[in-house]
Amino acid sequence: MIYGAMKFSIGGSLKLAFRPWVEGLENIPAEGPAILASNHLSFSDSFFLPAVLDRKVTFIAKSEYFTSPGVKGKLTAAFFKGVGQLPVDRSGARGAGDAAIQSGIRVLANGELFGIYPEGTRSPDGRLYRGKPGGLARVALGSGAPVIPIAMINTEKIQPPGKVLPKLMRPGIRIGKPLDFSRYHGMEGDRFILRSITDEVMYEIMKLGGQEYVDIYATAAKRQLAEEAKAASAARSANQRAADPKGE
């Protein structure tokens, strides 16, 4: 009931204000389980995609959304719980990852749609990064559900980092044909199979969205960018000290 209310209010407002265009809606089954595997450009991806679908989508969301302190944190947690999103611990703990995978399999066992971002985090620069095999592939093999590749397009341009007000523009959503991985049934423990499944899905997402592909994890790219920014800041400070050794 809360999901329906949120979809009507927030989803309706998003569709009216931003007018997202969609291709491939016919690839979403009218009923039955399916995994929606999407690239991840913006926080708004989890709002735009459900807004254009008739069926409910359950995503996994980082656990910080459910545990942040203060009034804002409680409101955020209430929102994500209300729309049926599942918390996932991204600290790297194996038990937390297994729990998220089992939660996704349960969603699919109920004949519902399960949404997942194989990159594991938002792209830091609009490019498509290597998918993590531990989540998507294991959910696909554990559930037997088809995987539907999805490309979100230009959502990162609506509210870039540092911008308070969103830019009114039309984002796009391109939905690909379902991928069947039943040929790998019973091979959940083979890391090469998990990698192969993930790479196949990421390739389809790349074709749909036209993004440049980078064969490293987005988390590693974010660390690299943070280190470069830190080094650049240190260099600027050193140059300022050299130019004004007395600090005048």
The predicted structure's pLDDT at residue 96: 57
- Kindly state whether residues 133 and 242 are assigned to the same domain: no
The predicted structure's pLDDT at residue 238: 76
The predicted structure's pLDDT at residue 199: 97
- Kindly state whether residues 122 and 235 are assigned to the same domain: no
- Kindly state whether residues 232 and 174 are assigned to the same domain: no
- Kindly state whether residues 67 and 149 are assigned to the same domain: yes
- Kindly state whether residues 224 and 161 are assigned to the same domain: no
- Kindly state whether residues 197 and 225 are assigned to the same domain: no
**How many domains does the chain divide into?**
2
**CATH code of the domain containing 13:** 3.40.1130.10
- Kindly state whether residues 107 and 196 are assigned to the same domain: yes
- Kindly state whether residues 132 and 246 are assigned to the same domain: no
Question: Quick one: average pLDDT of 6-26?
Answer: 85
- Which of the pair, 244 or 130, is modelled with greater confidence? 130
Assign 163 a pLDDT band (cuts: 50, 70, 90): confident
Assign 93 a pLDDT band (cuts: 50, 70, 90): low
- Kindly state whether residues 188 and 240 are assigned to the same domain: no
How does pLDDT run across 51-65, given as a tens digit for each residue? 899 999 998 776 776
The predicted structure's pLDDT at residue 41: 94
**Pick from 201, 76, 220: which is nearest to 138 by CA?**
201
Phi, psi of 40 (to 5 degrees): -135, 105
**pTM summary value:** 0.85
- Kindly state whether residues 211 and 222 are assigned to the same domain: no
Query: Which value, to the nearest 10 degrees, does the dihedral of the CA atoms of residues 94, 99, 101, 107 take?
Result: -170
160/166 Cα distance (integer angstroms): 8
- Kindly state whether residues 207 and 230 are assigned to the same domain: no
Q: Which domain holds residue 239?
A: 217-248
Assign 248 a pLDDT band (cuts: 50, 70, 90): low
- Kindly state whether residues 172 and 236 are assigned to the same domain: no
The predicted structure's pLDDT at residue 234: 82
Question: Quick one: average pLDDT of 164-182?
Answer: 92
Contact criterion met (CB below 8 Å) for 25 and 50: no
Assign 171 a pLDDT band (cuts: 50, 70, 90): very high
Assign 70 a pLDDT band (cuts: 50, 70, 90): confident
